[in-house]
Amino acid sequence: MLKIAVYPGSFDPITNGHLDIIRRAAKMFDRVIVSVAINAEKTPLFSLRERVVLARDAVKGFKNVTVDEFGGLLVSYARRKRAAVLVRGLRAVSDFEFEFQLALMNRKLDPGIETIFLMTKDEYTFISSRQVKEICRMGGNVSDFVPRGVERAMKRKFASKRSV
């Protein structure tokens, strides 16, 4: 049976931290589905479509990774995709409490689906989409934190916001 994992998140936008988690998951599973949440934080910088396109471009080098979008209950979505594993990334102790609650709740909702946590290379552990957006918005260099396509898209987005 194929081992399929779902890696859910807002991916607003996808960063090198996310990509490091994806690289690790792609080695462990036959198929990894990067699943972009429809109901991300209330006002994401990028639309769902933009987040999916940027993620797709970033993972095109991985043969067994695809990008999809999802809404509603994550465990129901994972079932539909025949995935028995949810992948989440852990950066620091500060992520732990939230992730722990989420994993236990998902296990309660569907005991057949396991959550696994992966850690990035230490140089990526401090990267978050939120901080990267903030740095880029203020004109800082984000080329070490996100793929080139994402950097370009963010610069365009902030330039267009400034001109309105």
- Find the binder of ligand ADP among 26, 124, 146, 153 (CB under 6 A): 124
Count other C-beta atoms under 10 Å from residue 85's C-beta.
18
Range list of β-strands (E), 22-105: 31-37, 65-70, 85-90
125 scored as a contact of ligand ADP (CB under 6 A): yes
68 scored as a contact of ligand ADP (CB under 6 A): no
Contact residues for 16 (Cβ-Cβ < 8 A; gap 6+) = 124, 127, 144, 145, 146, 147
Q: Is 18 one of the annotated active-site residues of the chain?
A: yes
User: For 111, phi and psi rounded to 5 degrees?
Assistant: -65, -15
Which one of 42, 63, 108, 162 is the catalytic residue?
Answer: 42
Contact mark string toward ligand ADP, 13..32, x via CB under 6 A:
--x-xx--x-----------
- To ligand ADP, the closest distance from the beta carbon of 140 in angstroms equals 17
- To ligand ADP, the closest distance from the beta carbon of 164 in angstroms equals 26
Rounded Cα gap, residues 25 and 5, in angstroms:
8
Rounded Cα gap, residues 4 and 2, in angstroms:
6
- To ligand ADP, the closest distance from the beta carbon of 78 in angstroms equals 14
Which residues form the interface with ligand ADP (CB under 6 A)?
9-11, 15, 17-18, 21, 88-89, 91, 95, 120, 124-125, 127-129
